[in-house]
């Protein structure tokens, strides 16, 4: 598993604290920096007549990023289920990275990061009048709505003069 039980609880507590501080609607994105390893002479001598045995020495690649898409968290969101989903998404990305013939295998999680963004829903705050040059010229004469779905063949015409 990518997160042990202690780090799992730390992430849950961090999200809950940020919900209390910033408000109930948040977007979160989970990610890790992983250390990957592979045999140093991977595919060396692949096309030779006699295959050279592997040296069993490893080459390491550090800070390989794997991250999820951002998820909306509300008051009613089950954090455990969401976090499990995010971890599964990262696990799938690591599996895809290691299974595509690169020779790299997962070695360790170096760092876990959590991006938390506050969501402020857009609401209507007032009326913005048209510029006076448009209203004087009567440019806004009507709106024509044509409904072309499978349920009705009606055409609605609405005029604002």
Q: Is the pLDDT of residue 105 over 70?
A: yes
Has residue 148 been placed in a domain? no
Q: Which of 4, 6, 113, 114 is nearest to 63 (CA)?
A: 113
Structure letter (DSSP) for residue 40: T
Q: Write out pLDDT tens, residues 40-98.
A: 765 655 556 565 555 668 888 899 999 999 999 998 999 999 999 999 999 999 999 88
Has residue 64 been placed in a domain? yes
Contact 110, 59 (CB under 8 A): no
Has residue 143 been placed in a domain? no
State pTM to two decimals: 0.66
* b/e 19-39 (16+ beta carbons within 10 angstroms → b): beeeeebbebebbbebebbbb
Q: Write out pLDDT tens, residues 107-159.
A: 999 999 999 999 988 777 777 777 777 666 555 555 566 656 655 555 444 44
- Give the residue-averaged pLDDT of 12-27: 92
* Inter-CA distances, 44 with 59, 60, 61, 98, 104, Å: 13, 17, 18, 18, 15
43: left (phi over 0), alpha (psi -120 to 50) or beta: left
Q: Provide the pLDDT for residue 52.
A: 56
Has residue 40 been placed in a domain? yes
Q: By residue range, what is the domain housing residue 16?
A: 5-44+54-118
């Amino acid at each position: 598993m990518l997160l042990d039980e202690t780090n799992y609880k730390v992430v849950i507590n961090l999200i809950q604290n940020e919900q209390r501080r910033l408000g109930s609607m948040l977007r979160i994105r989970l990610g890790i920096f992983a250390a990957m390893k592979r045999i140093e002479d991977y595919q060396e001598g692949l096309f030779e007549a006699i295959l050279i045995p592997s040296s069993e020495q490893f080459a390491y690649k550090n800070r390989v990023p794997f991250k999820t898409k951002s998820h909306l968290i509300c008051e009613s969101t089950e954090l455990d289920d969401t976090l499990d989903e995010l971890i599964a998404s990262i696990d799938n990305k690591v599996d895809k990275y290691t299974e595509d013939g690169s020779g790299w295998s997962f070695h360790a999680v170096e760092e876990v990061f959590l991006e938390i963004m506050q969501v402020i829903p857009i609401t209507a705050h007032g009326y913005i009048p048209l510029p006076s040059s448009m209203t004087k010229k009567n440019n806004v004469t009507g709106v024509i709505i044509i409904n072309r779905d499978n349920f009705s063949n009606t055409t609605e015409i609405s005029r604002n003069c």
